[in-house]
Structure 1
Amino acid sequence: MNLQTLSKIANNLVAPKKGILAADESSGTIKKRFDSINVDSTEVSRRNYRELLFTTNSVSQFISGIILYDETMRQDGNDGISLVKTITENGMIPGIKVDKGAKPLAGSSSETITEGLDGLRERLDEYSQLGAKFTKWRGVIEIGISTPTQYCIKTNAHALARFAALSQEAGLVPIVEPEVLMDGTHDIDACLRVTETTLREVYYELGCQNVALEGTLLKPNMVLSGKNADERASSEEVAEKTLACLMNTVPSSVPGIVFLSGGQSDEEATINLNSINIAAKSVAAPWQLSFSYGRGLQAAPLKEWNGKDGNAKAAQNSFYQRAEVTSAAREGTY
Structure 2
Amino acid sequence: MGNVDQVAQMQKGAGFIAALDQSGGSTPKALKQYGVDESAYRSEAEMFDLIHAMRTRIATAPAFTGKKVIGAILFEMTMDREIDGAPAAEYLWAKRGVVPFLKIDKGLEAEADGVQMLKPMPDLDATLDRAAGKGIFGSKARSVIAKPNAQGINANVAQQFEVGAQVLDHGLVPIIEPEVLINAPSKAEAEQLLRDALLNELDRMSGDRQVMLKLTLPEEPDFYAPVIAHPKVMRVVALSGGYSRDEATGKLAANHGMIASFSRALTEGLSAQQDEAAFNARLEDAITKIHAASVT
Q: TM-score range by the shorter chain?
A: 0.7 to 0.9
Higher helix share: 1
RMSD value, Cα = 2.3
Q: Distance between the aligned counterparts of 1:163 and 1:8, measured in 2? A: 25
1:232 is aligned to none
Q: Distance between the aligned counterparts of 1:63 and 1:269, measured in 2? A: 17
Which of 18, 25, 30 aligns to 1:33? It is 30
2:285 is aligned to 321
Q: Deviation at 1:323?
A: 0.7
Which of 43, 46, 55 aligns to 2:60? It is 55
Q: In the alignment, does 2:209 pair up with 1:205?
A: no
Q: In the alignment, does 2:114 pair up with 1:149?
A: no
Distance 1:56 1:160, change over 3 A: same
Q: In the alignment, does 2:176 pair up with 1:191?
A: no
> Any idea what the Cα deviations from partners look like across 1:58-114, whole Å, max 9, x if unmatched?
43211011000011110123x432222221221111110111111115xx3864211
Distance 1:131 1:38, change over 3 A: same
Structure 1 letter corresponding to 2:10: L
Distance 1:81 1:16, change over 3 A: closer
> Any idea what the Cα deviations from partners look like across 1:100-143, whole Å, max 9, x if unmatched?
111115xx386421124423222111111122111111120003
Q: Distance between the aligned counterparts of 1:314 and 1:116, measured in 2? A: 42
The runs of at least 4 consecutive aligned structure 1 residues that moved more than 6 Å come to none
Q: In the alignment, does 2:225 pair up with 1:247?
A: yes
Contact 1:199 1:250 in 2 (8 A): no
Q: In the alignment, does 2:258 pair up with 1:289?
A: yes
Q: Percent identity?
A: 22
Contact 2:115 2:153 in 1 (8 A): no
1:283 is aligned to none
Structure 2 letter corresponding to 1:124: L
Could you state the TM-score of these two structures normalised by the residue count of structure 2?
0.87
Structure 2 letter corresponding to 1:314: A
Q: Distance between the aligned counterparts of 1:246 and 1:110, measured in 2? A: 21
Which of 196, 215, 224 aligns to 1:220? It is 215
What secondary structure does 1:140 align onto?
A: strand
Q: In the alignment, does 2:262 pair up with 1:267?
A: no
What secondary structure does 1:96 align onto?
A: strand
Equivalence map 1:304-319=2 (5 Å): 305-306=271-272, 308=273, 311-319=275-283
Q: Distance between the aligned counterparts of 1:44 and 1:313, measured in 2? A: 22
Distance 1:22 1:34, change over 3 A: same
What secondary structure does 1:28 align onto?
A: coil
* Structure 1, unpaired ranges of 5+: 225-240, 278-287
Structure 2 letter corresponding to 1:252: H
Q: Deviation at 1:33?
A: 2.0
Contact 1:160 1:202 in 2 (8 A): no
1:129 is aligned to 133
